Homo-oligomer: A and B are copies of this chain.
Amino acid sequence: MTGDNAAAASPAPPLVPVLAVVGVGLIGGSFAAALRASGAVGRVLGVGRQAASLAKARALGIIDEAATLERAGQEADLIFLAAPVGATASILAELKPFLRPQALITDAGSTKANVVAAAREALGERIGQFIPGHPIAGAEKTGPEAADPALYRQRTVVLTPLAENSSAQKAALTQMWERCGARVVSMEPGVHDAALASVSHVPHLLSSVFMWQVATAQDSDLRMALAGSGFRDFTRIAAGSPEVWRDIFLTNRPAVLAELQEVKAALERAEQALQNADGPALQDFLERAALARRFWGSRSGYHE
């Protein structure tokens, strides 16, 4: 009786007894913080290349301790990769020999076809333990100090599951993201990559190219002194991590190049209308863009 009572009084074990986060910046730190805030994790291990970031993450209570990939593989029930996508293959290859049989690995990479190929190569027969994912949140802020348990609330998380993933694992990962407040959708990696090339990667390229061009102009000081809130918004993404975005462009190269051709064709049309001083054509295209943007803004759930 006493034993039964004690069992009844002890709390249920957390959904994830040990979570390992590889990369303790905005994305990884926010995932850990959100799961911890919801009571879904026991202990959090942090893995990273920069000792200062790990110390910061620990001081902020985002992780309980810093660990090697080896220890993360040996102890973690869930391993969350939040490193630049170009590092996925080497991280998985290093993890593989130590991985517990029931452990689940997922990632937060902004490109998926390339990550799937890298994971298959690195994990071999253990590929079923990896469910590729991409939370659509955050970007321009970096570092553990930017981590926010509310980052994923009302945000979309795309999973691109593999044939080898079990239904139970997919359900478990979906549940974890839902504990972070996110909405989970599933699709093929190629569909994800083409859509993200359009709405994320090409805008980042255009914003960065534009910022580069203004910054390298002879009269850049004058220009920037006259830049206002439109400039601020249009160029905000250009402040994002160069390393992260280099990897995104390289790993989603065909989709980005293809989408860029479409945008350039649209730009040619607008430029032609301007060259012709064709007011009605300009207004028509500006109206369609404005209506589409206002409609998106009213339905996206993003705070303007």
A interface residue numbers (CB < 8 A to B): 136-140, 155-156, 158, 185, 191-192, 195-196, 198-200, 202-217, 219-220, 222-243, 245-246, 249-250, 253, 256-257, 260, 262-264, 266-267, 270-271, 274-275, 277, 279, 282-283, 285-290, 292-294, 296-297, 300, 302, 304
Cβ contact of A286, chosen from B200, B219, B242, cutoff 8 A: B242
Q: How far is the CB of A110 from chain B (nearest CB, A)?
A: 10
Task: Tell me whether A156 and B242 are in contact (CB under 8 A).
Answer: no
Cβ contact of A253, chosen from B249, B264, B277, cutoff 8 A: B277
Task: Tell me whether B289 and A199 are in contact (CB under 8 A).
Answer: no
Task: Report B-chain residues with C-beta under 8 Å of the C-beta of A217.
Answer: 198, 262
Cβ contact of A294, chosen from B137, B222, B226, B239, cutoff 8 A: B239
Cβ contact of A191, chosen from B209, B215, B222, cutoff 8 A: B222
- Alpha-carbon separation in the docked complex, A234 to B239 (Å): 12
**Considering only CB atoms, which chain B residue lies closest to A140 in the complex?**
B230
Task: Tell me whether A282 and B250 are in contact (CB under 8 A).
Answer: yes
Task: Report B-chain residues with C-beta under 8 Å of the C-beta of A200.
Answer: 226-228, 230-231
- Selected A-B contacts with CB under 8 Å, 23 pairs: A156-B226, A195-B223, A195-B226, A199-B214, A199-B226, A200-B230, A206-B206, A209-B289, A212-B288, A213-B263, A232-B304, A233-B237, A234-B236, A236-B297, A236-B304, A239-B294, A239-B297, A242-B283, A243-B283, A246-B283, A250-B282, A256-B274, A264-B267
Task: Report B-chain residues with C-beta under 8 Å of the C-beta of A257.
Answer: 271, 274-275
Copy tally for this chain in the complex stands at: 2
- Given contacts A139-B230, A155-B228, A226-B195, is CB(A286)–CB(B203) below 8 Å? no
Task: Tell me whether B235 and A270 are in contact (CB under 8 A).
Answer: no
Task: Report B-chain residues with C-beta under 8 Å of the C-beta of A207.
Answer: 234, 289
- Alpha-carbon separation in the docked complex, A216 to B242 (Å): 30
- Alpha-carbon separation in the docked complex, A241 to B293 (Å): 12
Task: Tell me whether A285 and B232 are in contact (CB under 8 A).
Answer: no
Q: How far is the CB of A118 from chain B (nearest CB, A)?
A: 15
Task: Tell me whether A239 and B293 are in contact (CB under 8 A).
Answer: yes
